[in-house]
Amino acid sequence: MIDNAPLPSDWSVLQALVAHVQPPPGQSLGTFLLLRSHQLFYRSVSPSEQTQTPLSVNPKVLLKDTAMECDKTINDKIWKEGLLPPPSSPLLPFLCSLSSLPDSLLSDPSLSALQLLRILFGLNQHWFCLFEDHPNLPTTFDPILPANVFTSAKLSSKVTRQLSDFISVAAQQFPHWTKELVNFVPFAFPFSLRRSYLCLVCLGRDRAVYNFVRQSESDQRESAGSAEPSGRVAHRIERRKVEVQRDALVQSTLKAVNANLGDRALLEVSFSGEAGSGFGPTLEFYTVISREFQKADLAMWYGKETTKEEDADGTSTEYIRCPFGLFPRALLPSSAPSPSLLLHFRLLGRLLAQSLSDSRLFDLPLSPVLLLFLSSPSPFPCVSTSAHLSLLHQLDPHLFTSLHNLSLTSEEDFLHLETSFTLPGEESFELLQGGGCKQVTKHNVKQFIQLVSFWLLSGGVSAQFHALRSGFSHLLDPSLLCIFVPAELDELFCGCGSSQSSQKNWNPIAIAQAIKPDHGYTHDSPQIKWLVSQLSSFDREQQRNFVQFVTGSPRLPVGGFSALSPPLTVARKSSADDSELPSAMTCLNYLKLPPYSSFEVQSSRVLLAISHNKCFFLS
C-alpha cells in the first residue's frame, strides 16, 4: 500500500510511485522520484480477498459461448426461411454516438474535428455502401484515397513523444488522451507508431520495457548506419521452456499450451531428442506448426486446391493451397462442427496471441478477411450485401466475378443455366432447406448471392471464429488488434511477405547496412561484398530458404534485416577449403562463412547450404 491506498499486485514499485506521488511545482517527476525516500507498506492478503479466476472459467470464453448460441438461432432461421434479417451498414461504427465516448474526450475541443475525420475515413473505405440499391454490383471495392492521406504528422509527433519517455513506459502510466486518441482515430497514425503503441502499452510492463530497449537499440543502429550493438544490457523477462515432439507436433503443443494456458511468460520451444534450444528452435517451431495447420486432411480451410510434398521420411503429405489466403471452410447449415476442428482453431488462436506477444513469426498465408474478423469487436453482424460482397471479393475474386456475371444475366438466359440454391462448386451444400430443388431466376438472384455470401463469410464459419478468438483471448484481448488493418496484421503475425517489402528489404544497400561482419571479416572483405550481391539477386524461394537457414524462420520481421535482434552477423569460418559449406547458429542470427576463393564458388556453396534448412544439420 501507499498512502493507505491498496495497489494492484502486478504493479512494480515504479508504477506505484508514478501513479500516487506528485512532485512539487517546478520539480520534474524523475528528479523527485530519485532524490526523495518513499514509503510502501505490505500486508498479507486474506483468503476472502483472493479473487483469482480459474483458467477453465474464462469470462471471455463464456461470453463467446453465449454468442455462439445466438448465432445458431439466427442460422437455423435463415436455413428454414432463406431470408436474412435487416442488414446494418459498416458505416455505422464511424457514426458512433457521443454516449459511447469517455468523458475526457467529450470535453476535448478537437472532438468535432476528429469525428469529421472518422466519417470521412469511413466513407473513403466503404463508399460502395451508399449504392446499396443500385441494380448492378460494384466491380471494385478499393478505397477512393490511399490511407496515408489521413495520417496526421502533428498528432503522431505528440504520441511519439509519450512513447519515448522511459519512465512512462516502465511505469505504464500514460496520459489518458494517448490511448483514447489512438483507439478513436487509429488511421491518423502511421503503422510503425501504432505497432510501437501495441508493444509499449498493450502487452504488459515487462514486455514494454523489453521492447523499449530493443527499439532504442534498433533506432541507434539505423541512425548510425551500422549493425554494431550499443552494449546496453537488455531487460530480461520471464521465460517458459517447453518441449514438443516433431512426430506428434499438434498433440504435444496442445499439451504444453494447456499446462501454461494463461501464462504470459516468453515461450521457448525445443524439439524432443534434438540438440538446440532458445530463439532459433522457437522460430522453427512456429514455422513447422504453421505447416501442420495447412494439412488438407484437417479440413480447416476454404478451397480445394492442394499440393503434395514429400516429407523427410519419404511420406507424401497433402497441403491446402489458398492463392488468396487461408479462411475457415464453411460448414453445412445442418451440421455441427467437430470438437477436433474447434480444438485446432482454438490452439491456432492461442499461438497467434503468443507469437504476437513474443514477437515471433508464423508462416501462414492468412486471408485478410480472417484477420479482419479476428480484430473486429463484432465479427458476425448481418451487414449489407455490398459489404459482404467486398469481403467475398477479397476471399475469392473468381467466385465474386462469377456471381457478378450471374447478376447481369438476362431472364431468358436463366432458363438455360439450371442453377439451384446450392453453394457454387458444392452441390451438397444447400443454402436453405430444399435449396437443391429451388432454381435461381432473375427475380431471386439477389437472394441467392446474399445467401452464398452469408454462409461462406458468417453462418458457416461462426463456430470456427469463436474458437479462434476464444484461444486468442486466453492471452490477449482481440480488441487490441482493432487499431490495425488486415494488411498490417499480416505483417505483425507473419512478418514481411509482400513483393513491395521484399524489394525494399533485399536491396544491396539495406542488406549491407544490416550485416555485422565479425571474426576476420569487414565490410570491405570480398566475401561480404559477394554475399550482399548474391542475396540481392535471390528469388522469393531462395530468400525464404536463406532467412530460415540463418534465423529459423522463413520470414523477416517488420523492418527487414535491420529489425533482426540480434543483428545478422557474418563471421569468418576457420576452414579455408572451398568444399566447406557455410553453417549457422539460428539462436544468434549468426552465419559462419568460409573465405571462398571466388564469387562463383561462394554462390554455389551458399545455395547448397540453404537448400538443407529443415533442421540443425549445419549448425
Give the per-residue SS3 of 358-394: HCCCCCCCECHHHHHHHHCCCCCCCECHHHHHHHHHH
In the set 202, 322, 494, 587, the catalytic residue is 587
| Residue 34: partners with Cβ closer than 8 Å, 6 or more residues away | none
Q: Read off φ and ψ for residue 124, nearest 5 degrees.
A: -65, -40
Torsion angle defined by CA atoms of residues 466, 467, 470 and 476, in that order, rounded to the nearest 10 degrees:
-100
Shortest CA distance to 533 belongs to which of 586, 585, 600?
A: 600
Direct distance between the N- and C-terminal alpha carbons of the chain, in angstroms, rounded to an integer: 51
- One-letter amino acid at 392 equals L
DSSP states of 414-438 as a string? HHHH--BSEETTEEEEESSTTGGGP
Q: Residues 6 or more apart from 579 whose CB is under 8 A from it? A: none
590-593 and 583-585 as β-strands: parallel, antiparallel, unpaired?
Answer: antiparallel
E strand residue ranges, 31-92: none
DSSP state of 320: E
- CA triplet 226, 230, 236: central angle to 5 degrees? 130
Residues in the chain: 619
Measure the CA–CA gap between 199 and 178, rounded to whole angstroms: 14
What is the C-alpha separation between 511 and 497, in angstroms, rounded? 16
The grid cell for 545 is 530458404
How many angstroms separate the CA atoms of 607 and 610, rounded? 5
The sheet carrying 516-518 orders its strands as 516-518, 569-572, 590-593, 583-585
Q: Which residues contact 63 (CB under 8 A, 6 or more apart)?
A: none
Which residue do the cell numbers 442488414 mark?
87
CB count, 10 Å around CB of 299?
13
Q: Which amino acid is at 336?
A: A
Closest by CA position to 398, among listed 348, 324, 469? 324
Q: Are 227 and 591 in contact, with CB atoms under 8 Å apart?
A: no
Q: How many CB atoms lie within 10 A of CB 117?
A: 18
The beta-strand segments (E) located in 482-580 are: 516-518, 569-572
The question of whether 587 is a catalytic residue gets the answer yes
User: By the 8 A CB rule, do 95 and 124 touch?
Assistant: no
String of DSSP letters for 316-358? EEEEE--TT-B-BPPPPTT----HHHHHHHHHHHHHHHHHHHH
Q: Give the residue numbers annotated as catalytic, written as ranges.
A: 587
